[in-house]
Amino acid sequence: MIVSGFAFGVVLALQTRASMQKFGAAAMIPQAVSLGLFRDVGPLIAALLLSGRVGAGIGAELAGMRVTEQIDALESLAVDSFKYLVVTRVVACVLALPILTTLLNFSGLAGGMMSEMFASHMSMQLFMNDAFGPMDWSDYIPSTAKTVVFGFIIGTVSCYLGYTASGGATGVGRASTRSVVFSSLLVILSEVLLVKMILFWFP
């Protein structure tokens, strides 16, 4: 997450520089990078990374347990497999994603800063002042809080597809692929709705 965030910050700064220089607005690059990362790109990238890494893992793991009768074994040992396997994973996704998003945001900012330091010899202090100067808590909290919804989507979709898998090894592969595809798609679609809601309450 940190490496991806850093790399993304560098790319964001480079791309922003290419466009903004044309309009003589290179000084606004730190602001563009920070607002872009914290408001939208950071949460979305973190959610998509989590979906690809953890969503696929959950889907494959639970599907593997289903087809090898490990879930039945849990039930036969008088353990509620839904609580034991599903609830814990969904809660973990819900709690982890805001933290991972914050990590990605700050590492992205560090990447953007490094890029600007090399490109325009901007000082760290100036970059930070420009990056955080125009920012408000309303730029950070609602957009980070929306990752709770993303985490819930990734957790529930992956768990559902894994928990209900069938069809042996093919079923495991299918559950893993579908977990990534459906959770990523739902994350992106919910982003549209959530951005609308955030802009309505925090214009």
Partner 1 sequence: MENGQPAIRLDHVSKSFEGRKVLDDVSFQINHGQAFCLLGRSGTGKSVTLKLMIGLLTPDRGEIFIDGIKIQTADAKKLSEARKKVGFLFQGAALFDSISVAENVAFPLRRHTNKSDKEIRDIVHEKLEEVELGQEGKKMPSELSGGMRKRVGLARAMALDPGILLIDEPSSGLDRITASEIYQLLLKLKKKQKVTLVVVTHDVTGARKFGDEFAVLDKGKIAGCGSVDELAHSENSLVRELALGSET
Q: How far is the CB of 60 from partner 1 (least distance, A)?
A: 12
Q: How far is the CB of 66 from partner 1 (least distance, A)?
A: 11
**78 binding partner 1? (CB under 8 A):** yes
Kindly state whether residue 70 participates in binding partner 1, applying the rule CB under 8 A.
Answer: yes
CB of 53 to partner 1, least distance (A): 17
Measured from the CB atom, the residue of 72 and 136 that comes closer to partner 1 is 72
The H helix count followed by the E strand count for the chain is 10, 0
SS3 of 203, please?
Answer: coil
**Interaction of residue 164 with partner 1, rule CB under 8 A:** no
The SS3 assignment for 202 reads coil
Q: What tokens appear for 143 in the block? A: 């957009």
Q: Are 166 and 67 in contact (CB under 8 A)?
A: yes
Produce one character per residue of 133-171: b if its CB has 16 or more CB atoms within 10 Å, e if not: eeeeeebbebbbebbebbbbbbbbbbbbbbbebeeeeeb
Vertex 189 angle, CA 65 and 182, to 5°:
20
Q: What is the largest CA-CA distance in the chain?
A: 69
Q: How many residues does the chain have?
A: 203
Stretch that binds partner 1, among 17-25, 68-76, 99-107, 113-121 (CB under 8 A): 68-76
- Single residue of 3, 27, 72, 123 touching partner 1 by CB under 8 A: 72
Q: Does residue 40 interact with partner 1 by CB under 8 A? A: no
Is residue 73 part of the contact set for partner 1 (CB under 8 A)? yes
Binding status of residue 77 toward partner 1 by CB under 8 A: yes
Binding mask 99-128 for partner 1 (x = CB under 8 A): ------------------------------
Binding flag, residue 18, partner 1 (CB under 8 A):
no
C-beta separation of 109 from 37 below 8 A = yes
Closer Cβ to partner 1, 18 or 78, answer by number: 78
Six-digit token string for 166: 């069938």
3-state per-residue secondary structure call for 65-90: HHHCCHHHHHHHCCCCHHHHHHHHHH
In the complex, minimum distance from the CB of residue 83 to partner 1, in angstroms, rounded to a whole number: 10
Selected from 7, 21, 80, 123, the binder of partner 1 by CB under 8 A is 80
Residues near partner 1, by CB under 8 A: 64, 68-70, 72-73, 75-80
